């Protein structure tokens, strides 16, 4: 078998050039043990609506795989809603940097979160990944907020508060691992 592995690798690379649907990629990955195809296909399936999982002719996902992906999508959606609906603050924000306008800083932070970040999280065509929130926050205008308060929150989000923003990626990795486990012979 090891003698034909270069041929299998070549065929697998060439097949990816045909623009296969991610559900079909998973079908082929399971059938021909193409484990390298699993992460990309699962990521795409987790990012598109359920009704786009097949091409209208056949459904290459079996029920167990479909339910696994649908459950992961639901968990990711709930996590994204939770993060979007509750602007993160450090627990000790009130004891944060000296600021004579702390209540205004909280108001501006909350407004920026709901009017900019939350909308990007729920954007339909290209939603903001939770792990990219600190980078998105770096780019927005934070006028009306004390720069030390702004920096304090961003530093917290990049450090101790990052666990809140990594949950989405953990759920995606969990789904990929579950699919790999499901595909083991």
Q: What is the pLDDT of residues 81-90, one digit of tens each?
A: 999 998 887 7
Residue numbers of the chain with a pLDDT score lower than 70: 1-3, 8, 54-59, 92-97
pLDDT digits (tens, 9 = 90+) for 97-113: 677 788 888 899 899 99
pLDDT of amino acid 48: 85
Q: State how far the Cα of 109 lies from the Cα of 118, in Å rounded to an integer.
A: 12
- Specify whether the CB–CB gap between 153 and 102 falls below 8 A: no
Q: Domain ranges in the chain?
A: 2-78+171-183, 89-160
The pTM (predicted TM-score) of the whole model is 0.83
- Res 56: pLDDT: 63
pLDDT at position 24, please?
Answer: 83
pLDDT given for residue 38 in this prediction: 94
């Amino acid at each position: 078998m090891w003698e034909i592995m270069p041929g299998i690798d070549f065929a697998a690379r060439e097949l990816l050039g045909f623009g296969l649907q991610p559900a079909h990629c998973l079908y082929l990955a399971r059938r021909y043990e193409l484990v390298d195809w699993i992460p990309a296909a699962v990521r795409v399936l987790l990012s598109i609506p359920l009704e786009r999982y097949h091409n209208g002719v056949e459904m290459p996902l079996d029920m167990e795989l479909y339910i696994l992906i649908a459950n992961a999508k639901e968990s990711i959606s709930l996590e994204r809603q939770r993060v979007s609906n509750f602007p993160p603050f450090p627990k000790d924000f009130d004891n944060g940097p000296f600021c004579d306008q702390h209540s205004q800083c909280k108001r501006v932070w909350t407004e920026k979160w709901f009017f900019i970040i939350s909308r990007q999280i729920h954007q339909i065509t290209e939603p903001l990944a939770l792990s990219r929130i600190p980078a998105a926050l770096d780019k927005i205008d934070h006028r009306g907020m004390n720069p030390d308060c702004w920096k304090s929150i961003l530093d917290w989000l990049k450090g101790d508060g990052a666990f809140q923003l990594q949950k989405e990626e953990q759920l995606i990795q969990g789904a990929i691992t579950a699919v790999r486990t499901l595909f083991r012979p």
